[in-house]
Chains A and B, each alone.
Chain A
Amino acid sequence: MPEVLKAPLVVAFPFTRSLGPVQSAFLTGLRERVVLGVRTTDGRTLVPPVEYDPVTAEEIGELVEVAPTGTVTTWAWNPAPRRGQPLATPFAWVLVRLDGADTALLHALDAPGPHSVHTGMRVRVRWARERTGAITDIACFEPHEGGPGRPTGHSGAFGNPLTAIVTPARLDYTYTPGRAQSAYINALSERRTVGERCPSCHKVYVPPRGACPTCGLATAERVEVGPRGTVTTFCIVNIKAKNLDIEVPYVYAHIALDGADLALHARIGGIPYDQVRMGLRVEPVWTEDARYPDHYRPSGEPDADYETYRELL
């Protein structure tokens, strides 16, 4: 069995998220070193604040400033910080009930070791040097001796409030295409195209995905198809894609390779765009070091009869 194919796959997404009035006030407040909570109708103060009461779902919006000091309600020692976490050195995750709040905020606590952390310990906010209006404007918490810190007396109304935040994220994966697609990719490296035949309906799928979508069975028998094929349908592309050096207009087509029961798609070259037609017989054109055909060009054979490819449209 050939080696399992795998490749790194990075998914990164910078979501822009709009803020409601309460979230906006809270995050703008962090930028200005002010911690705001929201009051529920039964008089509790929620920090971090939300726009709807978590119990009654009632809309709430009365802002209340709380102190930048508080008490740890539970903690967990993290001996090996991971990418993106608040501190790069071992730290404690903590839920902190800030003085004046009735609920707890999750963040990191900078402490020398697990033996210096306990539930009930007093902590205070350590502000990030550069603040943008994000939960990370609190760099972390640090141990604090004594009573509540002093609120600034802020009303919660800011001159230049945030209305949205960007929350970038990156996840790293290893992509493994599996048995059927690995065979397809390995064959392409030898400039061959392989499909797989369903043991029940005998259709040949290319590229193979390992299963026949009609029968729900594994497609186990490998079949070499092509290299020539027939254009079953096509479109003329008139808009130039970014970073693509193909001149427009060009033709993109579905091509039924000889022996295949499913059409692949590829670009057609070597013929004026307005002369491409259904039934045109084509062959692949490989460029040096390419991992798949650069395009298909007319093979010079007579056009295929419609009846030979109508099932593949």
Chain B
Amino acid sequence: MTGEEAPTPRDVAVVAFAQTEHRRSTEESSEVEMLMPVLHEVLARTGLKAADIGFTCSGSSDYLAGRAFSFTLALDGVGAWPPISESHVEADGAWALYEAWTKLLTTDADTALVYSYGTSSSGSIRDVLTRQLDPYYLAPLWPDAVALAALQAQALVDAGDTDETALAAVGARSRADATANPHAQLTGNVPQGDYVVRPLRTGDCPPVSDGAAAVILAAGERARELCERPAWIRGIDHRIEAHALGVRDLTDSPSARLAAEHAGAFERPVDTAELHAPFSSQEVILRKALRLDGSVRVNPSGGALAANPVMAAGLIRIGEAAARIHSGESDRALAHATSGPCLQQNLVAVLEGDPR
């Protein structure tokens, strides 16, 4: 340390959010055709044109559509000629937002467009997700995402942290809340159904969804110009746990807790939490790890149990949390995104509105 004071980092806010109506299939449109209306909508909310955006970052995965470099085609939707400052993460858009946030902190740009999309309907998402596993010891066994979540759920039941009735209630509450969300895919009274992989039933698992989302970030005064009540990002952090499932305590999420701590989530209470918990059992784990008690409104959007467009579902959590700050329904919100089996990777962002 030189003793010089570090400059105060500039404030960055989510100023606009848009998403598709998530559906089981979007086979009538290509990815860019599905994405374009969302890009136009999010730009229209700020009055910005594509050419005004300082940095663009996207999140998607080639494994969803089964095509190499599929994000390059989606780039047509943002008007990438003449050349723009652009980046892509082969991950959920929440991680693209993290990259854009750091870009804005460096003062290289004042505004950023973050978008992500995925078409789970193109293949069999349960099989596709096995390809993200350790290729030596796990992937050759083809354990699918539901199977791995079910192992975690059983560990949770054995630990006395939940039971099947409590899990069913998580799904029921999510889909009841989703009735107020015009973008949700599954709403209202959805049958709990048969076991997919025991102890998880259909109602504990996310729908197979296609969809896209987009967010605009802006720094400092620019944010106030573009949005009446910006959702200031007070902190973001993401953490990962050991690759091998048998090394981890599956009933806990130390990486989510650590990310939340570094994002400043525990400094003051939050009133809202948008959790990316594709399985009901994962909400139980996250509530505990993130210290969310009954006073916090969890997943008012319905969460990933109501719509789970893979690669966009995490960015949507940040967008939903921000939208509630924009509308004045929340003053301080926590947004969470996950990736990998059994909550392996976790990102936490803390968003605040200006005091009223």
Contact = CB atoms under 8 A, between A and B. Distances in A.
A95 B76 contact: no
**Most central of A17, A46, A78, A97 by chain B CB within 10 Å:** A78
B75 A179 contact: no
A134 B140 contact: yes
Interface string A3-23: 010100101000101010001
B180 interface: no
Nearest to B195: A79
A169 B63 CA distance: 12
Interface residues of A, number: 67
A85 B154 contact: no
A111 interface: no
Contact of A103 (B32, B143, B244): B244
Given A174-B27, A179-B28, A210-B30, A135 B136 contact: yes
Nearest to A78: B197
B124 interface: yes
Given A17-B136, A85-B141, A211 B77 contact: yes
B100 to A, nearest CB: 18
A75 B30 contact: no
**Most central of A23, A47, A75, A180 by chain B CB within 10 Å:** A75
B158 A74 contact: yes
A50 B147 contact: no
A291 interface: no
A11 B131 CA distance: 12
A188 B59 CA distance: 33
B89 interface: no
A103 B31 CA distance: 42
A114 interface: yes
A82 B33 contact: no
Interface string A45-70: 01110100011000000000000000
B227 interface: no
Nearest to A105: B246
Interface in A133-183: 134-136, 165, 167, 169, 171-181
A46 B194 CA distance: 36
Contacts of B242: 54-55
Given A175-B122, A212-B79, A48 B246 contact: yes
Given A9-B66, A76-B154, A216-B76, A177 B143 contact: no
Interface of A: 1, 4, 6, 9, 11, 15, 17, 19, 23, 27, 46-48, 50, 54-55, 73-79, 82-86, 93-95, 97, 103-108, 114, 119, 134-136, 165, 167, 169, 171-181, 209-218
16 contacts: A19-B136, A27-B136, A48-B137, A48-B246, A76-B150, A78-B198, A83-B127, A84-B127, A85-B143, A173-B123, A176-B122, A211-B33, A211-B76, A214-B79, A216-B36, A217-B79
Interface of B: 27-33, 36, 39, 50, 63, 65-66, 73, 75-82, 121-124, 126-128, 131, 135-144, 147-148, 150-155, 158, 194-195, 197-200, 242-247, 250
